[in-house]
Amino acid sequence: MNKSYKEFLITAEPLNIEILSSVLWELNIDGISEEINCIKVFTHDQSINESIINDALEQLKKNNLIRNYEVQENVFYEKNWNEEWEKSREVIHITERIIIKPTFKQYEPKQNEIAITLDPKMSFGTGEHPTTKICISFLEEYVKSGMKVLDVGSGTAILSIVAAKLGASKVIAFDIDEWSLANGAENIKLNQVDNIVEVRMCELNDIQEDNFDLIVANIQKNILIELADGIKSRVKSGGTIILSGLLESDEEEIINKYSSLGFSKIDFMKISEWIGIVFTKL
């Protein structure tokens, strides 16, 4: 009998990979792949079905973390999901200068290009999602040599690696997940920036350092609102914060909240329905 595995195509509004992953990894699944407008969940456990996935997502909806979702179940035979996933990964040109490549793809950087090697595994931040592209574009513009940077909800540590490659002298990357700690630590070593980037598993309240030149946070609106005071107390006067993980509909609320705390909006970017905002602390 041919070995089979199931693939679930999941769309959600908002499509926040970290939040969706947090409940899906509770199930007996083998992997999650981030696509342009959906995520794919793979499992060899035949007892997992559409109903079980729906139940997990319904909890997120009840907690107002997603507004709606759709699940499509497919069954495949004689394929290795990890192999299929690897085949689909390509070298990604985020900006004219910054390239993201998986370890299993060969790429020779051109002059002045920064090539970052990344194997995302379980955590969010392959470079393909619009909010990751927005953050990287802003980092390229705002990171200056010698800066002290804080990466809030760092995932794969992709943004920390970019900041280090752009000249930051000290980067603290933190997330609340064990897999982010392991994957982030692996990726900073892979990119030879482990002397600059420190990866921690903690919450913002646990970060004792302050006076950061730049803080970047690519997480959903509710968390950015919740962490606003903590971000304010850790960025220096005249410092910069880059916020993304946001939908167009979140713009007004985020601007109102951060403006009320003494931040001034200095930049904005939109890719499809996703946005990023840059503020300076007055």
**Residue 50 sits in the same domain as residue 98:** no
Q: What is the pLDDT of residue 14?
A: 87
Same structural domain, 138 and 220: yes
Total domains in the fold of the chain? 2
Phi and psi at 192, nearest 5°, equal 55, 40
Domain boundary among 68, 86, 104: 86
- Same domain for 93 and 78? no
pLDDT score of 46: 85
Cα separation, 122 vs 74, in Å, equals 21
- 12 and 146 part of one domain: no
Are 205 and 245 within one domain? yes
Query: 121-171 pLDDT, tens per residue?
Result: 544 455 677 899 999 999 999 999 999 999 999 988 999 999 999 999 999
Residues 223 and 191 in one domain: yes
> Which tokens is 15 given?
């499509």
The predicted structure's pLDDT at residue 1: 45
pLDDT surpasses 60 at 80: no
Q: What is the pLDDT of residue 3?
A: 67
For 3-16, how does the pLDDT look when each residue is reduced to its tens digit (9 = 90+)?
677 889 999 988 88
Pairwise CA distance, residues 153 & 180, whole Å:
9
**Residue type at 148 in one-letter notation:** K
State whether 136 and 235 are in the same domain. Answer: yes
- Co-location of 81 and 220 in the same domain: no
How much is the average pLDDT of 250-271? 97
153 exposure class (CB count in 10 Å sphere: 0-12, 13-18, 19+): buried
* Its pTM surpasses 0.85: no
CATH number at residue 138: 3.40.50.150
Q: Could you tell me if 80 and 109 lie in one domain?
A: no
253-279 burial string, b = 16+ CB within 10 Å, else e?
Answer: ebbebbeeeebeeeeebeeeebbbbbb
pLDDT digits (tens, 9 = 90+) for 98-115: 998 887 777 888 888 999
What is the 3-state secondary structure of the chain?
CCCEEEEEEEEEECCCHHHHHHHHCCCCCCEEEECCCCEEEEECCCCCCHHHHHHHHHHHHHCCCCCEEEEEEEEEECCCHHHHHHHHCCCEECCCCEEEECCCCCCCCCCCCEEEECCCCCCCCCCCCHHHHHHHHHHHHHCCCCCEEEEECCCCCHHHHHHHHCCCCEEEEEECCHHHHHHHHHHHHHCCCCCCEEEEECCHHHCCCCCEEEEEEECCHHHHHHCHHHHHHHEEEEEEEEEEEEEHHHHHHHHHHHHHCCEEEEEEEEECCEEEEEEEEC
pLDDT digits (tens, 9 = 90+) for 14-69: 888 888 888 888 888 888 888 778 888 988 888 899 999 999 999 899 888 899 99
Residues 229 and 224: their CA atoms lie apart, in Å, by 10
Mean pLDDT value of segment 79-87: 55
Tell me, yes or no, whether 199 and 274 share the same domain. yes
Token pair listed for 70: 């759709």
Residues 186 and 246 grouped into a single domain: yes
109: tokens are: 């950087």
Q: Which of 253, 278, 282, 255 is nearest to 267 (CA)?
A: 278
Mean pLDDT over all residues of the chain?
88
Q: Are residue 126 and residue 38 in the same domain, yes or no?
A: no
Q: Which structural domain range is residue 115 located in?
A: 89-281
Q: Which of 86, 107, 135 is the last residue of a domain?
A: 86
CB-count exposure of residue 211 (10 Å: 0-12, 13-18, 19+): exposed
Averaged pLDDT, 166-192: 92
